[in-house]
Each structure stands twice: as C-alpha cells, then as structure tokens.
Structure 1
Amino acid sequence: MRALAFPLLLSTLLVLPGSLRGAEPPAPTGRWHAALVPVPGVEVGFVLDVSSKGRQLSAWLGNGEHRTPFTSATWDGATLVLELAHLDARLTVRPAGAGLEGTYTRTTSAGTVEVPFQARRTPPAEPSLPRGAPAVGGEWGLTMGEGEKASRLVGSFRQRGARVDGTVRESTGDWGPLHGTWDGRALVLTVFDGVHVYRLTGELRPDGTLAGEFRSRANPPVPWTGRRLRAGEDEAFVPGGDSVVRAKDPSAPFVFSLPDEDGRLVSSTDPAFAGRPMVVSIGGTWCPNCNDEAPLLAELHRRYRGKGLSVVGLSFEYTADAERSRRQVKRFRERYALSYPVLVAGSTKEARSSPVIAQLDGFEGYPTTLFLDRGHRVVKVHSGFDGPATGERFTALKKEFEKTIRTLLATKPR
C-alpha cells in the first residue's frame, strides 16, 4: 500500500484547483467609486459597477441616477476591459492594492484620447451643508469664456441636501447627467458618460452670482459666471433648437444618396421612401446627444412606420476611414436596436462642405433633425436634443416630436 502513496499524491495535485496550483484571480466585481484624472488634482467622478453571472461579466457606469451599460466586459485574470463599442471607447482596468487603476481610451477626430483612471471601494467624503445655507437648485444663466468668444448656456440644477444633479444646456443640446456636491459656498459637478469628461466648479459670490472654472478633459480651464434666471427666462437666454436651422430652399425636396453599413447605396428617391413623410437625423455615432435621441427615434419608427413614416440617420464620423465608419454605424444600430437605416455621410472634418449640409442654413451641430413632408420638403428642423438629464424638457421634446410626426402623417399629398 505504501508504494501507491506518491502516485496518489501526484494525481491529487494535478486535479486540485485553487491555491495549490494558483487559480485565476477573481474579477474585481462589486461597486467602485471611480474617477478619471485628466490632469493631476482634477477628478471626474462616477460609479463603476461590475457584476458576474457564472463566467459572464457585465458592467455599468453611473452619474447620479443615470446608468450607462458597457457593451462588453472581459477579464483575463489580470486586466478588466470594459467596452463602449458604439463610441469606440473603453476602460482598461487593473487591480492596484485595494483599488483599481487604468486608462480610458477613445478615438476622436483629433486622434486617440487617453485619460488615467482610478477607483476605490470607499465613497468620497460628502460635504456637510450648514443650516440656513443658500440653495443652488434652479435655473442659472451661465456665461462661459470671456470677450467675443463667450457663450451663453443654461444650468439646471436640482439640490437634495449637499447633493446636486442636473445638466447644462446649449442651443444644440445638453451636457448629460451632471452630479456632485454643494456645501453652501462651493459647487462641484462632473460627468463621464463615455464621451464627456467634464468638471464644473464654482463659488457663490456676495452678490448671489456664481463664478468658477469649467474643464473638459485636459484642456485649459475656461472661466464662467452664472446668475439666477427668472421663471421662463431660460428660453430667451438660450433659444431652443427650433430657432436655429432652416432649409435654404423650402420648396425643394431634401435629397441624399449615401452608403449604409454594408456599403449599399440608399437614396431619398428610392421607391421605399416615395410619398412617405420622413424624419432625417443628421448626427454621428460619437455624439452624446445623438445617442440620447436614437432610442426615441427607434420608438417612434416602430410605432408609426406601419402608418407610413420613414426614418433615416445620416452619420458623420470622426475619420475618413470608410471601413471604421461602417463598423461604428453597425455598432450604433445594434446598441439601440434600430430598425431604420443609418447611412455613412462622411467625416466631421468635411461635413460643412458636404451635399447634405449644403442644403441647410445655420447648421450648428449634431444632431440636427429634419421633418420632411410626403414630397420630402423640409417643414421643420430641430437642432440639438434635450436628453434625459434635462427632465421636463426631455419629456416635452418627446411629445413635440410625436406631434410633428402625427401632423405629417395626417397631411395629404400635394
């Protein structure tokens, strides 16, 4: 019997999992309090949540109450890769002591952007709000920058104790779900949604106005000031999207002829579109407001295509690489389960000289959404998109889009 001891021991070692042979370390699942650090001392905070079901990982990032799911999560025993494929972006993360560290990477029109990442289990300290401290919630008129280059924006903030969330709105859309803190004197708001890496800080001045700095990634800080807006003043301070863009010739049909994700040419004159009202969204897969708009257009298309509505996306991508552009359009359509075509319109650098934009006056940015009648004449244009972070404005815009579509469908052919 003693002669069998060594073979038995050897066979046991060969089949034993775990510590005797060094099993693959488990993935860093759970809730993490994370931040991107575009420059030393400047943190853009968010929540990272990683979970597992069997060997399948999933993850999302959170800004206040808003969650953005990653398209995939993979762990090889040393590195966690979290993809936002439709944005050509990813977080590459490694355990570091009790925390995590890594890099956020994204392809842009200027090349590849990389921002350091860090995370820990414990939440950052929350400031205490003194009794009787002034409130910061409400609508603020912001002036960003100085001199002739200054721009006007509206900050919409909701305050719950020392916590603040909301967004900042331009004429072409909003900044997404800002979140942060207010201690009665200092305001700190950040957002990282896969695209925006924003940090807005400010202090209350004796006259009741705010003043501070805005940072976008590692770009130089931009000074800003803000004053409270009276009820209803926000629309005059920053006009809504319907007042910006017009068709150069309202009597002419809006036309396009562009390839889809498979390289197949799709034209506005195709029989499939003949006599049908159409919604045309000029955007890009990289555009945060376009990503906010896509689920709404998908819902409206599903609801009204049987009644005669067509929807088409025209996508200007970051590079002139046609293969990459088609890939990103495909990922974008898969992300939002779009049943309507999204066509590759070219690169953002060439957009203003494109035949698509040449048909419009006052084009400012993405998305620009055109509502076409049955003869494909532009009857209404909406520039930008007020996303979920804008609250009531988002709800109102959804109703407005649907009302416009119902009106187009009810109109008889000329």
Structure 2
Amino acid sequence: MKKSLYLLLAATLIFSACTKPHHLKKGIWRGVLTTKNGDGIPFNFEIKDTGGHKQMVIFNGTERFKVDSIKQDGDSVFIKMPLFDSEFKLQFADHGLQGKWIKHLGQKDVAMDFNAKPGLDYRFFKHAKEPRIVTGRWSAIFEGDKPDTTVAEFKQSGDNVTGTFLTTTGDYRYLEGTVHGGKLLLSCFDGGHAFLFKADLKGRDTLVNGQFFAGYTSKTAWNAVRNEKAKLPDAYSLTALTPGYKKLDFSFPDVNGKKVSLSDPQFKDKVVIVEIMGSWCPNCMDQTAYLVDYYKKYHSRGVEVLGLAYERTKDFNKSKASLEREIQHFNIPYPLLITGYTNDKKETAASLPAISNFIGFPTTLIIDKSGNVRKIYAGFSGPGTGNYYTEFIAGFEKLTDDLLAEKTHG
C-alpha cells in the first residue's frame, strides 16, 4: 500500500514538473510577422506588470503603443489590440510565443503567422554590417504612383534609422530599422498595419530595388533619390468644393443613434471642423489624437468638432463597437457619426456631393461661423513626420484663430 502511494506521489510530482505553468516574461521581446512570400516584418515590444496586470508596449521609433488586454489560459495567450479591431492568438512554444495575428476586416478576417522571443532587443540584426548614410530627405516613387507624390525623411544614428514616407493622403507613421551595409530595412507594426520597406543604396544618393510589403499579401516596388528640396503639393489644394456648393449638408447618427447635422443649434455661429475618418485608419488615429487636444483648447472659444466615420462594414452595430473602442481609447469629447457607408472612396464621394476630388482618409473640412466651407485639408502629417507635423499645427491653429476673429454675416 505504501509502495503504491509512493509511486502515485512520484508520478504526481513528475506530472506537475512536466506541466509547470508558463508565464509571460517581463522585459523586451522581438516579434516577427511573416508575409505570404516568407519575408519577416519585425518589431520590438516590452511586457510589463502594471497594477497587477500584464501590459504590452509596442515600439516604433519614438512611439510607445500600449496594449492592456492580455489574457492567459494555460499555455495560450490572447492579446486584443485597443484599436483597429485586431488580435493575437498565441501559444507558448520554443522558449517564446507563436501563433497568429488576426485582422478583422468587416466581412472577412486576414491572419499572419507570428512568433516572438524574449530578451532580444534588436529589430533586424544584432550587429549591423558597415552601415552607410541615408540621413536626409528623398524623393520616392512607388509603382503606380505619379512623381512628386511621396517624400521620405530619414534620421540615422549609427546603424539605427527612423523616419517615414509622406504622401498626399498621409504618412506611413513611425518607421524604424537599420542600414546593414548598403541595405536599408524599415518596419512598423501598430495593431492596424504591418509594414516592411527594403531597398539597396546605390552610391550615396540613390535607393534602388525597393520593395514595400504591407500585411500578408501586398507588395509594391519603389525607388528614391536624395533630394533635400523635395516637397509635397499643398494639402489644402488637392480637394475642393464642387462648383455651386458653399456648404456641407448631411444627417448621420452618432453611436447612440441620435441624428446630427450641421443645421443643429449647437453649430450655429461656430467654427466647425469635420474630420472624414475611419477607425481602421492609423493616420486618422493620429489626427484624432491631435483633435482631442485641439478641441480642449478651442471649444470654449467657439469651435465644434465632428467625425464622419466610414467603416469597413455597413452594419451599424459593428461600426458602433469599433468607434466606441476609439472613443474610450482617446477620451473623445466630440461626436463621431456613423455614416452607413464603407471606406470605399467612391462611396465617400457619393455621400458628400459637395466635395470634389476626394482622395483619401483622413480629409478635414474647416467651416466658418456662417456655415461656409473655407478650407479642405487632404491627408494628415502625423507626429511621426517631425517638422511637418509641427508646421501643420501652426498653420491649422492660425487659420482657426483667423476664422474665430471674423464677424458672422446675415
């Protein structure tokens, strides 16, 4: 009897040792998403303990993107992104994590293989090979685009490179990577988009054989030449009012179902900012973060802000759920309206006939106290663009001050 008991205890101890629970290690990790053709999109993140709960902090340049929804069930880990409606479904394996990043696109899901290892603080290479210099401004051309529609800005310290690509419809946010000999490698993961840029440096002033990977399948060729005078067209010149229109007219419900239109009393004699946006759009998120602070600064002086959301689905409840996550994340104090249209640019143009040449998200309309559309700003140069962002803020707020100083007519 005793012998049987000892055998049972020994078996229990052995089983317990073999099934020792996994713990998500604190510290720096290196994660890699895999594209369809096998290229890896790397990024670094930190796992922290905050208030007794695990927190993931994703690094892209100077950006620190915090993720608080982390759940562990046995050897499985589930990480829900606070924005963009995506998530990780992972398992502990091979001294790290592996599984899928799943992006929900309204009518379908797209998944990418993912693996991560703790204790690795490098992005592409542990030791870079004889880095060459890419610091400065470049004119870039992506396959299918017209010239002078993309500008690249890079800053380099040793082999580490940060920067972004700016386009007429927005920027590629915070990119980070390296120069490995004559090869430039940059990546970004923000919960909504996974980007990888690769190119060869030919001589000092030319980037050739460029490839841009976005998500699981997208792949686009690009090249660039160094050009310190490169600049984009004026963002206020790209989208205009349709001839015969002076005002914007719409009536869409907010997340509670209440219809809102510019003819409502709360907008009378006010400067109104209308942001055409979507919860799926990272540039829109950068603009929303700015507009929240802008609203706090200008609302008491007579400014109102509205967001018109064009989601990936026409399902009101699905759109509502996505927008409520955004409202909570940014503490948005102004209304976001659910248009009932998708993010197809043709649908956006059809829903707002007063706008001509709608080119992308976000687009911002500045309306004066008489209800007339005075300016339309296409795209958004976010905080990852450095001076472009500060210059936008200065110009946008000067325009606001000027419109507030005007007297209403009629």
Query: Does the alignment reach a TM-score above 0.5?
Result: yes
Q: What's 1:334 paired with?
A: 328
- Other-structure match for 1:313: 307
Q: From 213, 216, 224, give the equivalent of 1:218.
A: 216
Give the % identical residues. Answer: 29
The equivalent residue for 2:377 is 382
Provide the C-alpha distance between the structure 1 equivalents of 2:191 and 2:393, rounded to a whole number of angstroms. 24
Deviation at 1:21, TM superposition (A): 12
Name the residue aligned to 1:301: 295
For residues 33 and 187 of structure 1, the distance between their equivalents in structure 2, rounded to whole angstroms, comes to 19
Which of 148, 165, 170 lines up with 1:168 in the alignment?
Answer: 165
| Alpha-carbon shift at residue 247 of structure 1 (Å) | 1.3
CA deviation after TM superposition for structure 1 residue 295, in Å: 1.4
Segments ≥4 residues shifted beyond 6 Å: 20-23, 148-151
Q: Which moved more, 1:254-263 or 1:206-215?
A: 206-215
Aligned match of 1:234? 230
Taking a change above 3 Å as real, the CA distance of residues 36 and 20 of structure 1, as seen in their structure-2 partners, is closer
8 A Cα contact 2:139 2:148, kept in partner: no
Please give the per-residue CA displacement for 1:69-124, whole angstroms capped at 9, x wherever unaligned.
12522222322222124311112222112111121111225621111111112344
Instruction: Give, in whole Å, the separation in 1 of the partners of 2:202 and 2:107.
Output: 37
Amino acid at match of 1:321: D
Shift of 1:27: 3.1
TM-aligned CA deviation for residue 406 of structure 1: 1.4
How far apart, CA to CA, are the structure 1 residues paired with 2:89 and 2:148? 35
* Root-mean-square deviation over aligned CA pairs: 2.5
Alpha-carbon distance change, 115 to 151 in structure 1, aligned in 2, over 3 angstroms = farther
CA-to-aligned-CA distance 1:296-334 (integer Å, 9 cap, x gap): 111111111111110000000001111101111111111
Counterpart CA distance in 2 for 1:58 and 1:266 is 37
1:360-408 Cα shifts (integer Å, max 9, x gaps):
1111000000100012211011111111110111111122221121112
DSSP-derived class of the 2:233 partner: coil
**In the alignment, is residue 177 of structure 1 matched against residue 171 of structure 2?**
no
Q: What residue in structure 2 maps to residue 14 of structure 1? A: none
Q: CA deviation at 1:269?
A: 0.8
Aligned-residue offset at 1:155: 1.0
Deviation at residue 234 of structure 1 after TM alignment: 2.1
Report whether the alignment pairs 1:137 with 2:135.
yes
1:209 aligns with 2:206: yes
CA apart distance, 1:52: 2.0
Q: Could you give the per-residue CA deviations for residues 252-290 of structure 1, whole angstroms, max 9, x where no partner exists? A: 321221011111111111111111110000010110100
- How far 1:24 sits from its partner (Å)? 4.7
Helix, strand or coil for the counterpart of 1:255?
Answer: coil
Distance 1:349 1:64 in 2: 28
Q: Distance in 2 between matches of 1:207 and 1:50?
A: 39
More divergent stretch after superposition (270-279 vs 101-110): 101-110
Residues 178 and 54 of structure 1: is their aligned pair in 2 closer, same or farther, counting only changes over 3 Å? closer
Shift of 1:349: 5.1
Which of residues 389, 396, 402 in structure 2 aligns to 1:401? 396
C-alpha spacing 1:316/1:71, structure 2 compared with 1 (3 Å): farther
**Which residue of the other structure, out of 357, 375, 380, is the alignment partner of 1:362?**
357
Superposed, which structure 2 residues align to 1:12-411 within 5 Å? 24-39=21-36, 41-53=38-50, 55-108=52-105, 111-121=108-118, 122-124=120-122, 125-130=125-130, 134-145=132-143, 152-206=149-203, 208-211=205-208, 212-230=210-228, 233-235=229-231, 238-249=232-243, 252-348=246-342, 352-354=346-348, 356-411=351-406
Match of 1:326, SS state, is helix
CA distance in 2, matches of 1:332, 1:116: 26
Kept in 1, the 8 Å contact 2:345–2:360? The answer is no
Amino acid in the other structure paired with 1:409 = L
The one-letter amino acid paired with 1:382 is Y
Give me the TM-score of the superposition, normalised by structure 2. 0.89
Deviation for aligned residue 1:40: 5.0
Taking a change above 3 Å as real, the CA distance of residues 207 and 338 of structure 1, as seen in their structure-2 partners, is: closer
> Are 2:22 and 2:92, in contact at CA under 8 Å, matched by a contact in 1?
no
State the aligned residue count.
Answer: 393
Conserved? CA contact 1:275–1:374, under 8 Å: yes
- TM-score (norm. length: structure 1): 0.88
Once residues 346 and 218 of structure 2 are traced to their aligned partners in structure 1, the CA distance between those partners, rounded to angstroms, is 27
Aligned-pair CA distance for 1:53: 3.7
Q: Mean Cα displacement is larger for which, 403-412 or 211-220? A: 211-220
The residue matched to 2:205 in structure 1 has which SS?
coil
Q: Which runs of 5+ in 1 are unaligned?
A: 1-5, 11-17
**Does the aligned pair in 1 maintain the 2:128–2:178 contact within 8 Å?**
no
Deviation at 1:218, TM superposition (A): 2.8
Evaluate the alpha carbon distance shift between residue 411 and residue 160 of structure 1 in structure 2; reply closer, same or farther with a 3 A threshold.
Answer: same
Give me the whole-angstrom Cα distance separating, in 1, the residues matched to 2:22 and 2:273: 50
Report which stretch shifted further, 361-370 or 77-86.
77-86
Deviation at 1:357, TM superposition (A): 2.8
Deviates more, 1:21-30 or 1:110-119: 21-30
| In structure 1, distance between residues paired with 2:36 and 2:346 | 33
Between the aligned partners of 2:343 and 2:191, the Cα distance in structure 1 is 22
| C-alpha displacement of 1:126 | 3.5
User: Do the aligned partners of residues 412 and 171 (structure 1) sit closer, same or farther apart at CA in structure 2, a change above 3 Å counting?
Assistant: same
Partner AA of 1:140 in structure 2: W
Compute the displacement of 1:348 (Å): 2.5
1:368–1:28 Cα change, 3 Å? same
2:44–2:121 contact (8 Å) kept in structure 1? no
Q: Is the 8 A contact 1:50 1:58 kept in 2?
A: yes
Contact 2:69 2:80 in 1 (8 A): yes
Q: Which moved more, 1:249-258 or 1:335-344?
A: 249-258
Contact 2:250 2:352 in 1 (8 A): no
What displacement does 1:41 show?
A: 3.5
Distance in structure 1 (CA, Å) of the matches to 2:61 and 2:306: 32
One-letter identity of the residue aligned with 2:369: R
Are 2:83 and 2:191, in contact at CA under 8 Å, matched by a contact in 1?
A: no
What is the Cα deviation at residue 346 of structure 1? 2.4
The amino acid that maps onto 1:39 is K
